[in-house]
Chain A
Amino acid sequence: MEGNSGIIEELIINSPEYGLVIVPLLLILLWQLLFNKKRGNYKLNGIEYLRAHHCLKGSSRKIYRSVLWFFFVALVAVIWIDPVLYTNTPLISSENETLHKNFIVAFDMSPSMNLPVEHKGYGGEDLTAGQEGTTRYETAREALFDFLQRFDGERFGLILFSTEPFLARWPTTETNNQFLEVLGDNIRRGSGTQLEAFSSLTNIDKALTLAREVLGGEEGAIIMISDTEDDMENLGGAVRILRENNIRLYTIGVGVSDFITQSLDQQFADDPGFRIFQVDSEEDMREAYKVVSEVEESPLFSLESNIYEYNLRWVLSLIGLLLLTGLLWLDQFYFHQSTNAFTSLRIGGP
């Protein structure tokens, strides 16, 4: 069942066949109503005589009582069919969100990412294992950890790229370990890690193509961290393809020149789905991630409408509690089995 208006998106019945549980319950109600001539399961002297002589008029209370219990029987049947409601607005706190933002983080693993973060351009001494200082890679990694925390619950994928890109993590919402099992290693010369062995040339184009394939037609954002100016100069074509696919690209250019940054900024000045950040320090890096966070949290790129899933069984059970209490109240105080006879005698006697 689908609704296009209002907050309800869809109502799914998981076990419609279990609704048949209503049949025996209804049969009992009908039996009580039509065939059970006793006014209660206890004897009231003279009542049967009076009833046989049409002296009693209180049977309408029995009908009311049956109707009341019919509502409860119907509710039990609805609980049995296990309905699940999908809404576009959160109704109560324990909902499951079925849509998530998609982020693909593409990390440049070229050896130049070993340069100190404050280093501008290429060349220079990269850092080795055990050497003091913070590399571009380490700075970007730390900032990413903060970003993951900020977007906890969203879906993140991880691509490491060098000569070839490699999908290190299929998009997942389980980011509590911050991809440490992959990114925990470093790429400093002499560290002997797999990442260091992987570290070679840079192929941004293939990395972005892989990211697009992983997103598989879904909208999302790619956060690319790289320090390779040559590839960035030719980034325009790749960005256009991404934008055509409704994919946003945030490029964090570590140590890239003003010229590259300005050139790309100008090319995509009117497109909020592309940003390039020039990063020369840890502060710049954090600032870049902060801006990306703010843009992604803005209404412009918020999920238009999330879908919230509610298993109604437990809600209906709690409603059932209140209904049961209310029905018992009515049953025992207003439509009591004994009252039928009593009231009938009082008001309907001969």
Chain B
Amino acid sequence: MGFEYPAAFYSIVILPLVLWILWKGIHYTGLISSLFKSDAPTGVYKGIKTAAVIIMFMCLVLIGARPYLEPQATADYIFLTDISRSMTARNYCSEPSFLDRSKEVMHEILESVPEGRFGMFAFARLAFPISQMTFNHYYLHDVIDKGLDVGMIFEATATGITNGLSVVAQKKTNFPEIFGNVEYVILFSDGFMEGDWRNDLTQSLADIRQAGIKVLTIGIGNPGETPIPRQIDGACVDDYLQSGGRPLRIPLQDDLLKFIATETGGDYFGEGTINELIIFLRENTLKPAVENTPFTEEQRRDISDSFLLTATLALLVFLLL
């Protein structure tokens, strides 16, 4: 349990005064009782009354100190998101694109692992971090909704998974104070990569392993191939991009994503098995939080209600006496 305003505990200095007032009151009662030759209040009565006041007092002090509970465990994760052109694929403009579907999964993970610190990288041909590592999930939801788009980085025509993985590994090595605790990268992609990808991935997978990172891959796509609608002035139209006179269709290349996961000691998840991913994250990746972990208000659970309830019950007893 932590306190946002521990200075409130200084108010405990009033407690002796309160106890003195109570003692005087009880003493006075005894005096009156003896004057009237009556039965003085019982010890139980005095004890309950004193306890009620002390409980009320201490609970108010605790509420004033703004008590909270922080998560006992946390972990650092990176969302590595494919923002190449193929991520705009969808059968109809009314459907969410692959990137929209990736965003949904990211939102779900953020909601389900509130104690996690996340950072975001995006890649097409080039790869960049697009957020800081942060516990502020409100901010991350904003970045996902407003700051993550296909084409946001120049030249979106290539799915540079190899480069993306290498950049993440390199950042962890070069900036250990920022990315040093990242052990899991969650990769969102359709895996659409041409050529001898097994060979192409060799170096980046070695980089990732060397950096001590495991990749959890999320396959975003449909069982069949999916066309890419054209965008005119930013609006989707039901006319599809073509390549060599034929519609350009994007398959979900899950064998590539499974390969990356296996080679790095991670795991592969489909869009339909996100619950399993969340269970995996919660059960296998969280570690005890170190002291002074910079959790935000989102991770902190205000527990003043329980003290307020106790104070109210004590007041109720006090008024009944």
Contact = CB atoms under 8 A, between A and B. Distances in A.
Interface of A: 21, 24-25, 28-29, 32, 40-47, 69, 72-73, 76, 79-80, 94, 162-164, 166-170, 172, 174, 177, 179-182, 184, 194, 197-198, 200, 214, 311, 313-315, 317-318, 320-322, 324-325, 328-329, 331-333, 336-339, 341-342
A177 B38 CA distance: 74
A333 B36 CA distance: 19
B65 A314 contact: yes
B202 interface: no
B319 A174 contact: no
A79 B63 contact: yes
A325 B17 contact: yes
Contacts of A200: 154
B96 interface: no
B308 A80 contact: yes
B272 to A, nearest CB: 30
Nearest to B121: A181
Contacts of B178: 177, 180-181
B265 interface: no
9 contacts: A32-B319, A41-B321, A182-B128, A194-B126, A200-B154, A313-B63, A315-B64, A317-B63, A332-B21
B247 to A, nearest CB: 27
A324 B21 contact: no
Contacts of A28: 316, 319-320
B147 A180 contact: no
B304 interface: yes
B36 A328 contact: no
B179 A181 contact: yes
Interface string B1-43: 0001100100100100110011011001101110111111110
Interface string B67-96: 000000000000000000000000000000
B213 interface: no
Nearest to A184: B175
B134 A45 contact: no
Contact of A336 (B11, B28, B139, B174): B28
Contacts of B35: 342
A197 B119 CA distance: 22
Contact of A332 (B11, B25, B45): B25
Contact of A42 (B31, B39, B57, B153): B39
Interface of B: 4-5, 8, 11, 14, 17-18, 21-22, 24-25, 28-29, 31-33, 35-42, 45, 53, 56-57, 60-61, 63-66, 119, 126-132, 134, 136, 139, 142-143, 146-147, 152-154, 167, 171, 174-175, 177-179, 304, 308, 311-312, 315-316, 319-321
What 3 A-B pairs have minimum CB-CB distances, sorted nearest first?
A: A332-B25, A338-B32, A170-B147
A42 B308 contact: no
A325 B312 CA distance: 16
A46 B32 CA distance: 13
B152 A167 contact: yes
Contact of A174 (B33, B136, B304): B136
A73 B143 CA distance: 45
Interface of A is mostly: helix
A57 B4 CA distance: 50
Contacts of A79: 63, 308
Given A181-B129, A181-B179, A45 B21 contact: no
B39 A43 contact: yes
A166 B152 contact: yes
A331 B152 CA distance: 70
Contact of B29 (A42, A47, A197, A317): A42
Given A29-B319, A318-B60, A44 B152 contact: no
A44 B139 CA distance: 67
Given A181-B171, A321-B57, A47 B21 contact: no
Given A177-B132, A338-B28, A329 B21 contact: yes
Contact of B132 (A76, A181, A331): A181
A164 B308 contact: no
A163 B154 contact: yes
Contacts of A325: 14, 17-18, 21
A190 B252 CA distance: 36
Contacts of A163: 154
Given A318-B8, A321-B60, A45 B18 contact: no
Nearest to A345: B36
B304 A314 contact: yes
Contacts of B128: 166, 168, 182, 194
A43 B42 CA distance: 11
A328 B32 contact: no
B21 A328 contact: yes
A162 to B, nearest CB: 7
A194 B27 CA distance: 80
A23 B319 CA distance: 13
A80 B312 CA distance: 10
Contacts of A180: 175, 178
B204 to A, nearest CB: 14
Contacts of B129: 168, 181-182
B38 A43 contact: yes
Given A41-B45, A328-B53, 8 more contacts: A25-B319, A42-B42, A166-B128, A170-B143, A181-B179, A182-B128, A317-B64, A328-B25
